[in-house]
Structure 1
Amino acid sequence: MIDYDGSGSPAVRVGSPGQASLLLSGPTRPFEDEPTLDFRGWEGAHIWHSLYYDPTVAAEHRPNGYVHLTWGIHERAPSEEWHFETTTVHPAGEEMRSLAVEVRTFIASLAE
Structure 2
Amino acid sequence: MKSLDTTDAPAVVIRCIDSDTVVRLCDRWRLDADSIHYAVEASAPGLSARVDEAVSAVWERAPDLPAFLTGLAEDFRGWSGERSWHSLERDLTITAEFRSGGHVGLTWTLRPWPAKHGGWSTAVTTWQEAGEQMTALAADVDAFLHEAPGIDG
Q: Same fold (TM over 0.5)?
A: yes
Determine the structure 2 residue equivalent to 1:57: 94
| 1:15-54 matched pairs, under 5 angstroms | 39-54=76-91
Q: Secondary structure at 2:77's aligned position in 1?
A: coil
May I ask how many residue pairs the two structures share in their alignment? 75
Change (3 A) 1:77 1:91: same
* TM superposition shift of 1:80: 5.6
Name whichever structure is richer in strand by fraction. 2
Q: Secondary structure at 2:109's aligned position in 1?
A: strand
TM-score, normalised with respect to structure 1: 0.59
Amino acid at match of 1:43: S
Q: Secondary structure at 1:100's aligned position in 2?
A: helix
1:91 counterpart = 2:129: yes
Q: Secondary structure at 1:88's aligned position in 2?
A: strand
Q: Return 5+ residue gaps in structure 2 as ranges.
A: 1-74
Would you identify which runs of 4 or more consecutive aligned residues in structure 1 move more than 4 Å? none
- Aligned equivalents of 2:102, 2:120: Cα separation in 1: 32
RMSD: 2.0
1:68 counterpart = 2:105: yes
Q: Secondary structure at 1:53's aligned position in 2?
A: coil
- Aligned equivalents of 2:118, 2:100: Cα separation in 1: 33
Amino acid at match of 2:109: G
Larger Cα Rg: Structure 1 or Structure 2? 1
Change (3 A) 1:94 1:109: same
Structure number with greater CO (CA < 8 Å, separation at least 6) is 2
Does the Cα contact within 8 Å between 1:74 and 1:80 map onto a contact in 2?
no
- Aligned equivalents of 2:101, 2:118: Cα separation in 1: 34
